């Protein structure tokens, strides 16, 4: 089990959270199973960027992203060098600290 620290997010997780997660489970599923309702418009099929997260600690433990994930990430709002799609990032052996960006592409387009 790895420990996942979720940094506070204004609407999805205002107080932040600390979760235990089994190796091999997607970070999206870990969040959803813990009632942190991260957006996942493509139903976790690696076809959008709505589940984009930023890995603040433990990035290297997640393994390499696929070429498809990297191509999609190029379109993510708030992309950083340590960004991943939570539906594709599988929990490894190391603890993680993650940040859920304030917006997704869906939310940005709805607000403008």
Which pLDDT belongs to residue 103?
A: 81
Confidence of residue 110 (pLDDT cuts 50, 70, 90): very low
Q: Which of 109, 87, 76, 78 is nearest to 30 (CA)?
A: 87
CATH number of domain containing 10: 3.10.20.30
Q: What are 26-78's pLDDT values in tens digits?
A: 999 999 999 999 999 999 999 999 999 999 999 999 989 999 999 999 999 89
> What is the count of structural domains for the chain?
1
Find the mean pLDDT for residues 2-10. 97
Q: What is the pTM of this model?
A: 0.90
Q: What is the DSSP string of the chain?
A: -EEEEEPPBTTTBTT-EEEEE-TT-BHHHHHHHTT-----TTSSSSS-STTEEEEEE-GGGG-PPPHHHHHHHTTSTT--TTEEETTTPBP-SS-EEEE--S--HHHHHHH-
- Structural domain range at position 31: 2-111
């Amino acid at each position: 089990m790895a420990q996942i620290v979720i940094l506070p997010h204004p609407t999805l997780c205002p107080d932040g959270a600390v979760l235990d997660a089994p190796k091999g489970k997607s970070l999206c599923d870990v969040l959803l199973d813990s009632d942190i309702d991260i957006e996942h418009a493509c139903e976790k099929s690696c076809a959008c960027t709505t589940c984009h997260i930023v890995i603040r600690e433990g990035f290297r433990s997640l393994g390499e992203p696929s070429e498809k994930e990297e191509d999609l990430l190029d379109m993510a709002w708030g992309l950083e060098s340590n960004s991943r799609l939570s539906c594709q990032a599988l929990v490894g052996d190391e603890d993680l600290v993650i940040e859920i960006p304030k917006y997704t592409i869906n939310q940005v387009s709805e607000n403008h």
